[in-house]
Amino acid sequence: MLEQNRDEFIAEMLCIADTDWVLGHWYIKVMLNGRSLTDCTAFAGMAQDSLGHTRALFRFLEDEMDLPEHQLEFGRGPSQIHDLEMLSAPPENWGDFLVTTFIAEGAIWQMLNTFRASIHPGVAGMVTHFGKELYFHRLGLEGWLKSATDETKQDMREAMQTRLPVALRWFDDQARSDSDNLLSSGIRSSSVAEAKTAFIEATVSKLMAALDMDDTASISSNEQVEWDTQKRKTRGNELPATLWEFMIPTDEDTVLLRRPLAVSVDDNLDLFDRAEYAQDD
């Protein structure tokens, strides 16, 4: 069933897994900048959840798609990561961090939720389990929103102008949603267009209300970019070198400490065997 839609399924799962991967490292990086010990503890737990989801999805793809072990984590470079492009730019302040993580958590959940009633029980089961943990992430982030100072809220309003359009673009357009093979095959149980609507209603509307913003028309995703449909990001965009090194350290000592790989991942980089991927690199 999954094999018949192999390329599309791997690409969509990586869009979710890789975004969680980057987000988890955001939480780790910002952990010591928390306003209290409670903040730091929450970031640690949220990072653990996000990275756990990533590795669970990686292992699921390895098993279902017969991919070499650990290839997805160690066998790709920064140009091959399917992350939400919004997370490539680091937070400029506390308000920016709150807005960006709130948006990212909401976007990840809504994209995951399109597989909630998948005909594949393994996919549906993961969504149900992840959703329970993401619910508590949302509660924590909502608490930080409510306690934000006026200065922080102003920073958040400014961040909304730059972060939100990039996040909205992640969901792509109606035409692609309508022609989705994963949806027609039952692997995806609701459309990405529906996920975008739910994201706006559940995440964007809550942010706008918390920040006393009502001019939603001023925040749109209409910028014309050269779009990579498989990675759901601007073609040629890749993770900044400093962020990638934080996620996958390449110094000799760290490499030596990693578990031995079952295969040489260097020989198995092309997951999709398509010419456009060679062009991206």
Long-range contacts of 238-245 (CB under 8 A, 24+ apart): 238/77, 238/78, 238/79, 238/81, 238/88, 239/22, 239/78, 239/81, 239/83, 239/88, 240/78, 240/88, 241/78, 243/22, 243/25, 243/88, 243/90, 244/77, 244/78, 244/81
pLDDT at 55: 95
Instruction: Give the number of domains in the chain.
Output: 1
State the pTM of this model. Answer: 0.89
Give residue 167's domain range: 3-280
* CATH number of domain containing 235: 1.20.1260.10
Mean pLDDT, 10 residues at a time, over the chain (281 residues)? Answer: 86 97 94 77 89 95 90 92 96 94 95 95 91 83 86 94 94 92 95 96 91 70 83 94 93 75 53 48 42
Q: What is the pLDDT of residue 178?
A: 93
